[in-house]
Amino acid sequence: MADKLIIVESPAKAGTIKKFLGGNTKVVASMGHIRDLPKSKLGVDIDNNFEPEYINIRGKGDLIKSLKSDAKKAKQVYLATDPDREGEAIAWHLANILDIDMNSKCRVTFNEITKDAVKEAIKNPRAVDKNLIDAQQARRVLDRIVGYKISPILWKKVRRGLSAGRVQSVAVKLIVDREKEIENFIPEEYWNMYVQLKKKKDIFKAKLVSKNGKKIDIHTKDEIENILKEINNASFVVKEIKKSKRKRTPAPPFTTSTMQQEASRKLGFTLKKTMSVAQSLYEGVKIPEKGTVGLITYMRTDSTRISDVARKVAQQEITKIYGKEYYENRYYKTKTDAQDAHEAIRPTYINLSPSYLKDSLTKDQFKLYNLIYNRFLASQMSDAIYDTTSVQIDANEYNFKANGQTLKFKGFMALYVESKDIEEKEENNNIPDLEQNDILEKVNIENIQSFTQPPARYTEASLVKTLEEKGIGRPSTYSPTITTILERRYIEKEQKQLIPTELGIVVNNLLVNSFTDILSEEFTADMETEFDKVAIGKQAWKNVIKEFYEPFEKELQKANEELEHVELKEEVSDVPCDKCGRLMIVKYGRYGKFLACPGYPECKNTKPFVQTIDTPCPKCGGKIQIRKTKKRKTYYICENNPKSCDFISWNKPKKDK
């Protein structure tokens, strides 16, 4: 008989915790949720105040028996599932199944799986937090109602097997709207004028910015020609020199969303991969002579706070490696709507450097751990300092500007620099020593024609950033949301860009027209605020559902009536059916588009749907087909491959060489 039984979600976490707890303590895993809403029906009693109908998850019968047996033998059972709403809900379901008093001190949580954190948590158990459970139930029940009530409309109008989701549908809408912006974008011509100037042997570049101090915008070549005439014989005179220092501050330690964004930009990781690798680092990795060690703090957080202990060890490490001048004690403001229940994501043991652990980690674990470790240390380092020079140069009425900067002190940049979705080019203009009223020699004038660019397509990183800025979803929802809409084929990924499929556009248009309010960005963000109120006991979860359901039911009824007579036109191809000659139609299957005979069920002929591009094969002039690998990665192949041509490429061929 064990004195203590500790139940966690995963065997890896169980193994890490077990080694900290000597004596007669048993640690077992629930393997995630053990109860949930049934898949076969709605599972929410609408008429009985939205009471959820939970059932034991199929296939977990033997595990539940084993957990019950272990719980009966133990003097004390502790529920040590993850320290968030989902973890609280798992603990609550376990308490229900194992007949544990909800108000007893049975719940333990820790932000990091270290000996001190685990022992401290077990010394200070608490009751299961009903408010956190209710917040999780509110989200689960609301998402179930939306999914199970709207999906049948898609089955009727588009095809069976499709599904709608509250947050997922908003994410698809963002991607579809961006694609429309790109399609409707009309580029505008603009010009920039640069002049190369010389003092003695030193040459530098200045840009035309204004005329008589007023900003100038150049749209045509004629305007450029007029300016060239007006400055043809002008002297280029130094009018003003400003010298100053510029500081660059490090980024705060990672939250879930910033970790996902940076891992996408720097490492090329998908959100799903980032969260999976982070989970393995949190739960524990086997290290020679140390056993299984949890290497990072909990990876679902929207806080940038770090503990005083972590702050102190960061100071010691930075001072030891770089010197005192590289350390700065920094506190970062957490967003006002952040839950701040946990610290930021950071390494649990600063002495376990990435280089020390390299042989113990997989390649992906090493890459992500290195990123988390360096980001955390850099967040406690000094500013980078630049010496900057800004020079105004006049040529008659026209004002040119030259900017230059020199990095004087690297500070945090000695270790780590955050990436951006669109990297800004820093001008590397070595400006010589100039004095006011210097007359400079004109070397060359360069006029560059450009066109305004449409907004960029979303990547996983930029979509997460947008969802977070708009308050749609929470850190734990970003990865499953984007993974789901990719798996449903509503969007596709091409060289990191997220592009809506025809199926995604059809589904989006249908939902947006029928459920304008419920699938709006504002409504979805407001619901997150309501869930947060439930989590702190300021709102009853069933009231949230009730307020949502009454207008939703009316929209549902209206949508059903309006869509009753709507027929979605099927896309007709130019490919005749081999068996009956009719032109085949485009259908959507589990793996995307295919061609089917419209004479079904008399004629059941189907064919693969082959997309081509209007650029001929660079080797033989044949048609280039667009195909996808099993992992949905796009590639380009000649129609004659492998018979008479071997052309195949990841990159889209271009007409012009």
Residues marked as catalytic:
298
Burial of 519 (0-12, 13-18, 19+ CB in 10 A): buried
What is the dihedral sign for C-alpha 211, 214, 215, 219? Answer: negative
At residue 163, φ and ψ (nearest 5 deg) are -145, 155
Contact 283, 10 (CB under 8 A): yes
If one counts every other C-beta atom within 10 angstroms of the C-beta of residue 467, the result is 25
* Separation CA 473–CA 582 (nearest Å): 47
Two structure tokens written together for 488: 């449903």
Q: How would you list the strands of the sheet with 648-649, edge to edge?
A: 611-613, 624-628, 634-638, 648-649
Give the SS3 label for residue 203: strand
At residue 175, φ and ψ (nearest 5 deg) are -70, -40
Contact 78, 104 (CB under 8 A): no
Two structure tokens written together for 408: 């004087």
Contact 94, 100 (CB under 8 A): yes
Helix (H) or strand (E) holding 308, with range, is helix 308-321
Q: How far is CA 111 from CA 115, 330, 371, in A?
A: 12, 21, 19
User: Cα torsion at 291, 292, 294, 299 (round to 10°)?
Assistant: 160
Contact 32, 12 (CB under 8 A): no
- Strand bridging mode 202-211 / 189-199: antiparallel
* Separation CA 652–CA 640 (nearest Å): 17
- The secondary structure of residue 265, as a DSSP letter, is I
* Separation CA 236–CA 234 (nearest Å): 6
* Separation CA 406–CA 245 (nearest Å): 10
Q: How far is CA 501 from CA 115, 155, 169, 175, 494, in A?
A: 49, 17, 14, 10, 11
Two structure tokens written together for 383: 């500013």
CA 36 to chain centroid: 27
Helix (H) or strand (E) holding 364, with range, is helix 363-378
Please name the residues in contact with 581: beta carbons below 8 A apart, sequence gap of 6 or more.
none
Burial of 39 (0-12, 13-18, 19+ CB in 10 A): exposed
Contact 257, 335 (CB under 8 A): no
User: Hey, which residues does 204 pair with through a beta bridge?
Assistant: 197
